[in-house]
Chain A
Amino acid sequence: MLEIKNLHASVDNKEILKGINLVVKPGEVHAIMGPNGAGKSTLASVVAGKDEFEVTKGEVLLDGQDLADDAPEERAHKGIFLSFQYPIEIPGVTVTNFMKTAINESRKARGQEDMPANEMLKMIKEKAELLEIDRKFLSRSLNEGFSGGEKKRNEIFQMAMLEPKVAILDETDSGLDIDALRIVAAGVNKLRSKDNAVVVITHYQRLLDYIIPDFVHVLYDGKIVKSGDASLALELEEKGYDWIKQEMAL
């Protein structure tokens, strides 16, 4: 589904990603772990198409199609979703209005009519219930004055609404207390299916107690230096990132 081949990317001529290879198949959950500055968030941004990063080599494929020439919104239309580490505030724009616009823009890109209002309301209601989101929350301004937990839950709500093929969750656990973490993880688990895939980017193991990955990759200095199953995350937690450093003789 998502295939990353020998991906190199730089910002301001400084190379951050130094040859990433990753294959994500439908129904899988991959975790990408690594110390600060390893390039985890950069990888997420590059896949989403943020233009401050320059791809110098390699490619990102979705269903075999190269995304290089696609603008961020086109990638979104094709099914890439990024849950932001720091969701952005848009004052005066309600969560509902934002979602309505996003869904209808995607439909437009696919040559479909706007979603009828009653269908939209029904979908909003279903997804809000699925994620245990208070309906009042949906008429608040997007991320404005939201707590950390509310922001992250709102990201997952958007994921539920947009039904992406590949969802990348960038540090979704950061800034969450254990209850919020549990709610967010439960939401993600409910949205998993055999047709979509999730890439969880995290510094710590704890989120992976709730979202069990099929594969764990360790990102270090712009490269994936080690891959394994869920036990790798536990091992990392126990031994710390220095262990990887020694192990790999980096």
Chain B
Amino acid sequence: MAYTEEELKKELETKEYEYGFYTDIESDTFPIGLSEEIVVAISKKKEEPEWMTQWRLDAYRSWLEMEEPEWANVHYTKPDFQAISYYSAPNKKPKYDSIDEVDPELLDTFKRLGISLDEQKMLAGVAVDIVMDSVSVATTFKKTLGEKGIIFCSISEAIREHPELVKKYIGSVVPQKDNYYAALNSAVFSDGSFCYIPKGVRCPMELSTYFRINQAGTGQFERTLVIADEGSYVSYLEGCTAPSRDENQLHAAVVELVALDRAEIKYSTVQNWFPGDKQGKGGVYNFVTKRGICENHAKISWTQVETGSAVTWKYPSCVLKGDHSIGEFYSIAVTNNFQQADTGTKMIHLGKNTRSTIISKGISAGKSQNSYRGLVQVGPRAENARNFSQCDSLLMGDQCGAHTFPYIEVNKTAQIEHEATTSKIGEDQIFYCNQRGIPTEKAIALIVNGFSKEVLNKLPMEFAVEAQKLLEISLEGSVG
């Protein structure tokens, strides 16, 4: 993969990479609403092959027959799908000319998260000169991956450059008609990431460091496909601790992970989309379908820290198809003010001697509602399957809610353990900290971090530090 610093610099400036097409798009805007014509037009715009267009159309037709799910423990005004523009051209023009024009509150948050000034500018959409430093880091990064045969690019690029891989695996884990939002995503997905790790290759770095910048303006309908070939390993980091003030209200992403024999995928997410204001106005609806499939002796770990969005509907799941495969789910979900989260996981045990672990930590503050919903299903052929689930809830104040909905369907040989606790940050705990000289805000951060430790420990180091600060900021002003 020949790639120069000059090229990357250009790419970052124009953001072409992220959207993966090269036509002059600045003046393009699609009319609002969704129809077959729009789906075809999106596919065409992205110069996709015929099979992809057809795949999208199949998804669209299924979606038309489907109904928006109602079972989650969340309440919101249903989006008007005909009032959305399904193709928003990436804006080349920076939103601001100088950082002084950016909302000071947002900048303050960036600063406290320890985000560098250049990154702050990128994230806030300020015109920025590319720093040579980060360019060379990114170039080295690309080069190292290329040497190992690792493919890491946008999904649009992958559709063009690696159609055989995409064709084989897209929809193989989350079929087009899997659910309402997945069908919608399949029809209209804007872009996303693609990653392929060849046989026996251990990806030498966390796939994110550079992409944190690039991902700042993630699309409304993101699609991610990660394939770890036999005996390979990859750690993938998604999202960003920086607050994303996206004007798109509805986000319906799909993430598919394929771990072939003896492969391991570690997928970590930090999500901090706009949760709405303190009165509960605005905020992103985050309806995500994430699922991975494990072949023999393969392992998939989902780790997530969710602090943003007004409404979250998300169940990263593992299909343990192969014998001796392992699925893990580690989650921290924070809700404050009027946020609502219905999140959890599904562990589907199909192979023999499969194991799964679920550690879920829900933290509710303000008037928020936080639900854990998890399914542990052990198929008739999955002999000696084991699961351990632990769901802990921490409540702050007396106006929030924590709910747990575990579903367990097992055979006779399965060993299932489920533990659940609910605790409240008490005035006594706060006073104890205060008496030792620790102010209330800091005391809450300390208690919350202690509560979340088992999950924070699963995050890659750098991410964990950021996530810790994020928890602190998300819960500010929630007690006292």
Q: Which residues of A contact B (CB under 8 A)?
A: 48-50, 52, 71-73, 75-77, 81-82, 84, 87-88, 90-93, 97-98, 101-103, 105-106, 109, 141-142, 158, 162
Contacts and interface: CB of A to CB of B under 8 A. Distances in A.
B64 to A, nearest CB: 48
B442 interface: yes
Given A93-B446, A101-B442, A105-B442, A82 B453 contact: no
Interface in B404-457: 426-429, 431-440, 442, 446-447, 449-454
Given A71-B439, A88-B432, A105-B438, 10 more contacts: A72-B431, A72-B435, A75-B435, A84-B432, A90-B433, A92-B449, A93-B447, A98-B446, A103-B437, A105-B442
A77 B432 CA distance: 14
Contacts of B439: 71, 73, 105
A98 B449 CA distance: 12
B453 A92 contact: yes
Nearest to A107: B437
Contacts of A93: 446-447, 449-450
Nearest to B438: A105
A171 to B, nearest CB: 15
A150 to B, nearest CB: 16
Given A84-B432, A105-B442, A73 B437 contact: yes
B437 A109 contact: yes
Given A50-B431, A101-B446, A105-B442, A92 B437 contact: no
A102 B437 contact: yes
Contacts of A105: 437-439, 442
Contacts of A141: 450
Contacts, number: 70
B450 A102 contact: no
Interface residues of B, number: 23
Q: Report the 8 A-B pairs with minimum CB-CB distance, sorted nearest first.
A: A92-B450, A93-B450, A72-B434, A76-B437, A102-B436, A88-B432, A92-B453, A106-B437
A91 B451 contact: yes
A159 B427 CA distance: 22
A144 to B, nearest CB: 9
Contacts of B426: 88
B435 A77 contact: no
Contacts of B442: 101, 105
A239 to B, nearest CB: 35
Nearest to B452: A92
Contacts of B436: 76, 98, 102, 158, 162
B374 to A, nearest CB: 22
A101 B449 contact: no
Interface of B: 426-429, 431-440, 442, 446-447, 449-454
Nearest to A77: B437
Nearest to A161: B436
Nearest to B439: A73
Contacts of B446: 90, 93, 97-98, 101
Contacts of A49: 434
Contacts of A50: 431
Contacts of A92: 449-454
Nearest to A103: B437
A32 B446 CA distance: 34
Given A88-B432, A90-B446, A101-B446, A162 B437 contact: yes
A73 B441 CA distance: 11
A176 B299 CA distance: 49
B437 A88 contact: no
A164 B429 CA distance: 21
A88 B454 CA distance: 21
B437 A90 contact: no
A243 to B, nearest CB: 34
B432 A102 contact: no
9 contacts: A73-B439, A76-B437, A77-B437, A91-B450, A93-B450, A97-B446, A101-B442, A106-B437, A162-B436
A180 B454 CA distance: 33
Contacts of B437: 73, 76-77, 102-103, 105-106, 109, 162
Contacts of A97: 446
Contacts of B431: 50, 72
B432 A87 contact: yes
Contacts of B453: 92
Contacts of B429: 88, 90
Nearest to A158: B436
A90 B448 CA distance: 10
Nearest to B431: A50
Nearest to A94: B450
Nearest to B448: A92
A41 to B, nearest CB: 13
A97 B453 CA distance: 12
